Structure 1
């Protein structure tokens, strides 16, 4: 009995650095998503003139999406330097502009400073969403990589929940000043974490890679895993990675298609638009529930479900959760669209059914969080080889920013011109198309090493490369 207890304790001790690194790195993601969720409680106050200055609806729509434009710049810069400076330094550096952006929002006396502050936040977001998934994918062992990488999307929801709670009950400037605590904690806590062993191997420093791996694994017996990593990096770096290798090398092209496809499916479900305009959407059901309460319930449910998804993704695999998620999401979007159409375009009295949008949106967040919320970002950190990973995640984050901006503006314009039911019907159709993409194009990466995944994308037989002993 004593040996069993000792074995369990050792197992948890071995993983502690991986867990702590995942938590601290994701403080930047929490801060980033607080910026993305900020418009939900804040824009109605600014547009209605209930603050020290007032903005127009059109200004509000641009203030909402400008971080996505800034993220394009941030991701591009990070993609150029992350393989030179390292994943750790990029994550640490992101804490400084996050503090600046919140201070600018708190001190803003006009929309101009809001534009600048939120653009800086978006640029820093591009930095975080390039470096953090890369870092987590490289430090974690295969059996818990899904869990650790899924901390990232869970942090996304936590950030959204925090800003909706703070923004619903505190003034805009007070909320911004409190939000600076998160990036300060990021700097103070993450600075103690080791650099990714893969980065050290890319730089040719095998001794530093071993020291990093010893810390992350909690054991000195890492030579076999280190040799496997070194061999994988050597194979992938035989030809120095270039940006156009993403498109000219077949397995890279396939990985990019999968990553872009999953991000497209995720965003065409309307999730970013729904997050940005969450309070506006719940305002449609104001006779049933206070608009301040709806978004908080929405993000609390999303947080719980994202945490559940993260805890089971290494057991169920990625594909089953994606299929369940997108099927249920399409149904909830359709339900909301039908209700809004009947309410806005017919003479039917829907007063007794004002609970439907809330039920539909809570259903949306439950089923969306099961797979579409967490897995696309997780897969992005898994499927690219080290020699092009920086270019790939940079490109994927730029693509995400572009498509999220377009979807958010589409939601705003179609809602203003035709009614809110139109974007919900369009999002429903896109989910149906996305289901076919997942069924036919997305591979299962559960339990595979990063090297195994590359061989899978190349169409090679994995058993030919597996060693008889397991890496723990």
Structure 2
């Protein structure tokens, strides 16, 4: 279909990645929707017929998304290795559909509990299958930018979710989300499975057709491919990480030094997406700004912070293949630590010195927005794509699934207990703990992570072994 329009290889890859990331947009909407909606559900004017929900119920509505994500990562991670990255990602839309139908018919908080778990199932599919899919369809020179689209679409979803929750009726919002789902369900099946997955399954002819489509070449195998595309396909077929492998995984697959280092890098960076504090701050943006003493409208302030985050994710796309992963991660971690320390200091001054922080409400928004911007540029945008770059293709589904289980469990605990913990020890304490993680991640990246910019998987493996490809 798309070959007839002579779309160039670069724009074709962008197009496929953009449509694939509609699933990521749904995740952003699911998180962003909570910030303005939970206060409405807790108010006397709640749209639920049973009346206002409690603080504990509100916390569960926010956090159950991540329990669903844990189960979704496990099940769809397995599917990504069995039926392919493409169809695992596509099947992840089914829970989202039922989740938003439940909101349409919600009469009590129990409907919302089930809805959030189902949304989490779909988000789990996105987090496991999408980074692998996008990484494997991309040329080496575009892989960083293509991976950064993930964070961009999450940030866009956050802004959309907060705007929908703020200005549309509670029961109207799910209809708007179902429109996004319909676009994905109709368009995404037109795109192929990844060449690397097909080669792992010994489907060489179909893998070649997939690569031809992605590089804008005729899918007729009788038509010669351009030299560059032919060389790329030959390199994939002869790659030590893809050729002559059994499909079963054994302990021997984990013995190479490069593999063990890749696993450690994936563990730290994926965990950092939760431990840096982005998700609890995303879920409770409006409440946090009110607690800081800001006298601005909570809903408008939350949207402003979301726009900061969206700007950061767009900057990630601009910088990621110009400056490399290491530099961006180091700058993101260090800058994020400074901004979140400032936000914690505002809470500390308000709590211990009774400072009237309402007179500089803009500073709280700047501190939170600055942290979100820098986190979006690096700590949130880069980990999943870097994991796909450093891990051997055979182990990607297993390792990413395992660490995503840990990620979802940590995020559930942090989001669910964030408000309670903050009430006990003061809001400044979690802010400063998040800052400590940011500083640790900066140090780890500086000493452990090799630069993956523009390198093939085999070149990255040599770097992890402490060698250079000459």
Same fold per superposition (TM over 0.5): yes
The answer (yes or no) to whether the contact 2:19–2:184 under 8 Å persists in 1 is: yes
Q: Identify which of 97, 103, 123 aligns with 1:125.
A: 123
Residue pairs, 1:2-401, within 5 angstroms: 13-51=8-46, 52=48, 53-219=51-217, 220-221=225-226, 222-232=229-239, 238-242=245-249, 248-284=255-291, 287-401=294-408
Distance in 1 separating the partners of 2:83 and 2:351: 54
Give, in whole Å, the separation in 1 of the partners of 2:154 and 2:344. Answer: 26
| 1:71–1:287 Cα change, 3 Å | closer
- 1:168-225: CA deviations, max 9, x gaps? 1112211122111111111111111111111110111111111111111123222221
Which is further off, 23-32 or 355-364?
355-364
- Gap change, CA 1:96 and 1:376, over 3 Å in 2: same
2:164 is paired with a residue of what secondary structure?
A: helix
Query: How far has the Cα of 1:350 moved from its partner?
Result: 3.3
Alpha-carbon distance in 2 for matches of 1:347, 1:82:
53
* Range moving further from structure 2, 282-291 or 311-320: 282-291
Unpaired runs of at least 5, structure 2: 218-224
Partner SS for 2:154: helix
* Contact 2:316–2:378 under 8 Å retained in 1: yes
CA distance in 1, matches of 2:354, 2:323: 46
TM-superposed deviation, 1:261: 0.6
Identify the residue that residue 468 of structure 1 maps to in structure 2. Answer: none
Does the aligned pair in 2 maintain the 1:285–1:358 contact within 8 Å? no
Residue among 402, 409, 425 paired with 2:432: 425
Distance 1:203 1:348, change over 3 A: closer
C-alpha offsets along residues 292-347 of structure 1, whole Å, 9 cap, x if unaligned? Answer: 10111111121122112112211100111111111111111111111111112223
Segment drifting more, 154-163 vs 286-295: 286-295
Secondary structure of the residue aligned to 1:142 is coil
Q: Relative to 1, partners in 2 of residues 1:420 and 1:245: Cα closer, same or farther, differing over 3 Å?
A: farther
Deviations 1:29-50 (A, max 9, x none): 1112211222111111112232
SS across alignment from 2:389: coil
Does the Cα contact within 8 Å between 2:62 and 2:416 map onto a contact in 1? no
1:407 to 401, 414, 423: 414
Stretch moving more, 399-408 or 266-275: 399-408
Unaligned runs of 5+ in 1: 1-8, 464-472
- Whether the 8 Å CA contact 2:241–2:458 is kept in 1: the answer is no
Aligned residues: 454
SS at match of 1:191: helix
Shift in Å, 1:287: 5.0
Work out the CA distance in 1 between the residues paired with 2:353 and 2:111.
43
Cα gap change, 1:250 to 1:236, in 2 (>3 Å): farther
C-alpha contact (below 8 Å) 1:233/1:386 kept by paired residues:
no
1:462 is paired with a residue whose SS is: coil
The CA deviation at 1:110 is 0.9
Distance in 1, Cα, partners of 2:251 & 2:299: 47
In the alignment, the residues of structure 1 paired with residue 126 and residue 409 of structure 2 have an alpha-carbon distance, to the nearest angstrom, of: 17
SS where residue 417 of structure 1 aligns? helix
Gap change, CA 1:142 and 1:234, over 3 Å in 2: closer
Contact 2:22–2:184 at 8 Å: present in 1 too?
Answer: yes
Deviation, 1:282, is: 2.0
Q: Distance in 2 between matches of 1:264 and 1:394?
A: 13
Question: What is the CA–CA distance in structure 2 between the aligned matches of 1:335 and 1:297, rounded to whole Å?
Answer: 18
Give yes or no for contact 1:285–1:355 (8 Å, CA) kept in 2. no
Runs of 4+ in 1 over 6 A off after TM superposition: none
**Could you state the TM-score of these two structures normalised by the residue count of structure 2?**
0.92
Structure 2: distance between partners of 1:373 and 1:358: 20
- Structure 1 residue 153: deviation in Å? 1.1
Partner SS state of residue 126, structure 1: helix
- Does the residue aligned with 1:49 lie in a helix, a strand or coil? coil
Give the Cα separation in 1 of the matches to 2:206 and 2:240: 15
Provide closer, same or farther for how the CA distance between residues 289 and 303 of structure 1 changes in structure 2, counting only shifts above 3 A: same
1:466 corresponds to: none
Check whether the contact 1:69–1:405 (CA below 8 A) recurs between aligned residues. yes
Aligned 8 A contact 1:95 1:184 in 2? no
CA RMSD of aligned residues (A): 2.0
CA distance in 1, matches of 2:240, 2:57: 48
Range 285-294 or range 181-190, more displaced: 285-294
